[in-house]
Amino acid sequence: MAQKAFQAEVSKLLHLIIHSLYSHKEIFLRELVSNASDALDKLKYLTVSDEAYKAIAFEPGIRVSFDKEAKILTVSDNGIGMDDKDLEENLGTIARSGTRRFLEALAEDVRRTTNLIGRFGVGFYSCFMVSDTVEVLTRKAGQEAAFLWTSDGKEGYEIAPASRDGHGTTITLKLNEEGQEFLSRWRTEEVLKKYSNHVAYPIVLAYEQDTYDDKGKKTGTERKEEQVNAASALWLRPKSELADSDYVEFYRNFADTDEDPLLWMHTKAEGTIEYSTLFYVPAKAPFDLYHADYKPGVKLYVRRVFITDDEKELLPTYLRFVRGVIDSEDLPLNVSREILQQNRVMTNIRNASVKKILGELKTLSESDKEKYEKFADEFNRPLKEGLYSDFANRDALLELVRFKSTSVEGWTSLADYKVRMTGDQKGIYYISGDSEERLRKSPLLEMYRRQGLEVLICADEIDELVVPSIGRYGDLELKAVNRAGAEEDLGPEAKGDEAAEKAEKDLAPAVERIKKALGDRVKDVRLTRRLAESPSCVVVDEADPSLQMQKLMKALGRGEGIDVKPILEINGSHPMVSRLAGTEDEDLVADTAEVLLGQALLVEGASPADPADFVKRMNKLISRQ
């Protein structure tokens, strides 16, 4: 049969894997076993859920064997198998979005490869690291026809009709120099144990052992077989029997990673609804955390039978970084997605699981602040989404979310902010925008800083949605500093004295003229006392969306008609403004007006409507005597 070419990306992937991952070449075995286990899961599920497959009786298992003389290693399973079409799609192209991202990430920084292999399963193609040629002999369950896929991992592959006893897949590797070490019982067993100990099906290793007579003389060899993995559903074993290392090893295998988890929680619920859950919080955010098509991290089992790993509703979206297993005693095996979403048992498990996870996070935040900071670095943002979407757990989430602040390094909680509050402080102040650095320099903070008032810095895109929606923390109101009227809260310095009041009166006509000069680009122009050093700032009206919110809405394509104009607030005690009192110089007023608005927009990360005009007027002002 004619050779078919690999999809271009496959060739690229093969090249990259072979050349950059060879120091981790043993992972090919993990990948092959994991594929075999998936194939067994798929068939087992069909036999319990689909009439057409119910007649198939099989004892699921994975077998690894090698032949020292022929330099061959095989990994065989009696799972779902593939037909010729499957072979072409699965082993000739890159169907998975994960692999594509892996490639993109690799292209960005080849040096990070070794960290990346943990985070992306590199899959079947990794066996070309250790092989000259690879054969895949496979027969799909319920079909007679078998096929043989062959490739040297260079340009392409061939698919030919073949025969196989029973359904399943046998992968035969003709090992190259790099692969010779796996022709050893101990080496292969070590790798299988390391990565695949808790694969749910037995992995049997077949090997040859020399036989000896009484006098210690070699008499020949005999073939032996031994199950090398624990093959237990770890989550069903009592906690008392499990060591930390068991949990860590299971996680590494489960999440396809070399990293340790940050935290795990193992629960067995007995009572009206019986289930077991084992959840892990990873140390690092999954690469697809912010992709709309992220892969859910929780697998659903019903009485140890794998049901799905593609159900996003098992936990709320904001907990999509959690990895683990839910195993229910009470769901039907052929539970469909629709049933799952409305099922009382599932709702119960889900609610209890969320409470458990949030509770454990709270405990961590109290017992190990340093670890919790690490957690916040990775997962604070998704938790904040929860504030917006999970009203029932809002109070718990409010204790878990963290903020940057003008008063402390690193993260702070709302509770800690409260402790630091000064006597007559009116609420919790925050400033929101899209750059932490810019926010920290915002003129809006000047008076707060001078008065020793702490302001939370909210620079996440979603803060624009989330933080205003919080409303209150206990009896404290959350107050945005970039809103009109916020200076009401500031201390006596901002309130001004008689002299300040007089100066403001004198400036009133100039303010009117500035307003006129700026026309409909601003909603209002007014004097403010919230600024200490800067001459001007822009704020939005209490009920209007902020500038960042407007940007966000536009980016979401929902920006129609939300062009809300800012209010320009100016600092009467700044020389640039105070010199306008009583002036007749229209040019000076017009230039100053444009520069006041332009610079206030610039510090907010927006730009003046006509930058060239802004620069011209600024230069005019600077050159003026």
Residues in contact with ligand ADP by CB under 6 A are 31, 35-36, 39, 77, 79-82, 90-91, 96, 121, 123-125, 169
Q: What's the closest the beta carbon of residue 124 comes to ligand ADP, in angstroms?
A: 4
- The residue type of 343 is N
d(C-alpha 275, C-alpha 226), whole Å: 32
The nearer residue to ligand ADP, 119 or 617, going by C-beta atoms, is: 119
The nearer residue to ligand ADP, 39 or 129, going by C-beta atoms, is: 39
d(C-alpha 94, C-alpha 103), whole Å: 10
Residue among 416, 447, 420 at smallest CA distance from 431:
447
d(C-alpha 248, C-alpha 251), whole Å: 5
Q: What's the closest the beta carbon of residue 87 comes to ligand ADP, in angstroms?
A: 8
- Residue nearest to ligand ADP according to CB distances in the complex: 123
The nearer residue to ligand ADP, 80 or 148, going by C-beta atoms, is: 80
Q: What's the closest the beta carbon of residue 226 comes to ligand ADP, in angstroms?
A: 21
The nearer residue to ligand ADP, 231 or 346, going by C-beta atoms, is: 231
The nearer residue to ligand ADP, 14 or 540, going by C-beta atoms, is: 14
**Three-state DSSP state, 395:** helix
Q: In what order do the strands lie in the sheet containing 404-405?
A: 404-405, 455-458, 427-432, 476-480, 472-473
In this structure, what DSSP letter does residue 81 have? -
Q: What's the closest the beta carbon of residue 400 comes to ligand ADP, in angstroms?
A: 33
The nearer residue to ligand ADP, 297 or 433, going by C-beta atoms, is: 297
Residue where the block lists tokens 């894997």? 17
**Three-state DSSP state, 5:** strand
d(C-alpha 354, C-alpha 279), whole Å: 10
Q: What's the closest the beta carbon of residue 138 comes to ligand ADP, in angstroms?
A: 7
**Three-state DSSP state, 40:** helix
Residues 6+ apart with CB under 8 A from 197: 229, 230, 249, 250, 253
The nearer residue to ligand ADP, 91 or 593, going by C-beta atoms, is: 91
The nearer residue to ligand ADP, 81 or 566, going by C-beta atoms, is: 81
115 contacts 210 by C-beta, under 8 angstroms: no
d(C-alpha 19, C-alpha 416), whole Å: 50
The nearer residue to ligand ADP, 143 or 422, going by C-beta atoms, is: 143
Query: What are residue 230's phi and psi, to 5 degrees?
Result: -75, -30
Q: What's the closest the beta carbon of residue 288 comes to ligand ADP, in angstroms?
A: 13
474 contacts 421 by C-beta, under 8 angstroms: no
Q: In what order do the strands lie in the sheet containing 131-139?
A: 4-5, 156-162, 146-151, 131-139, 168-175, 72-77, 62-67, 203-212, 218-227
The nearer residue to ligand ADP, 82 or 302, going by C-beta atoms, is: 82
d(C-alpha 39, C-alpha 10), whole Å: 22
**Three-state DSSP state, 557:** coil
In this structure, what DSSP letter does residue 403 have? B
Q: What's the closest the beta carbon of residue 197 comes to ligand ADP, in angstroms?
A: 19
Residue 309: other Cβ atoms inside 10 A:
16
Burial of 108 by CB count in 10 Å (0-12 exposed, 13-18 middle, 19+ buried)? exposed
Per the DSSP assignment, residues forming a β-bridge with 146 are 139, 162
Residue 125: other Cβ atoms inside 10 A:
23
Residue 270: other Cβ atoms inside 10 A:
9
Residues 6+ apart with CB under 8 A from 500: 529, 572, 573
440 contacts 458 by C-beta, under 8 angstroms: no
Q: What's the closest the beta carbon of residue 549 comes to ligand ADP, in angstroms?
A: 40
The nearer residue to ligand ADP, 122 or 601, going by C-beta atoms, is: 122
d(C-alpha 159, C-alpha 88), whole Å: 8
The nearer residue to ligand ADP, 40 or 358, going by C-beta atoms, is: 40
The nearer residue to ligand ADP, 90 or 546, going by C-beta atoms, is: 90
Q: What's the closest the beta carbon of residue 6 comes to ligand ADP, in angstroms?
A: 12
Q: What's the closest the beta carbon of residue 336 comes to ligand ADP, in angstroms?
A: 22
The nearer residue to ligand ADP, 92 or 261, going by C-beta atoms, is: 92
Per DSSP bridges, beta strands 427-432 and 476-480 are parallel
Q: What's the closest the beta carbon of residue 179 comes to ligand ADP, in angstroms?
A: 18
Q: What's the closest the beta carbon of residue 39 comes to ligand ADP, in angstroms?
A: 3
> Any alpha helices (H) in 123-243, and if so which ranges?
185-196
Q: What's the closest the beta carbon of residue 80 comes to ligand ADP, in angstroms?
A: 6
Per the DSSP assignment, residues forming a β-bridge with 538 are 568
Q: What's the closest the beta carbon of residue 151 comes to ligand ADP, in angstroms?
A: 13
Q: What's the closest the beta carbon of residue 195 comes to ligand ADP, in angstroms?
A: 14
Residue 577: other Cβ atoms inside 10 A:
22
The nearer residue to ligand ADP, 123 or 261, going by C-beta atoms, is: 123
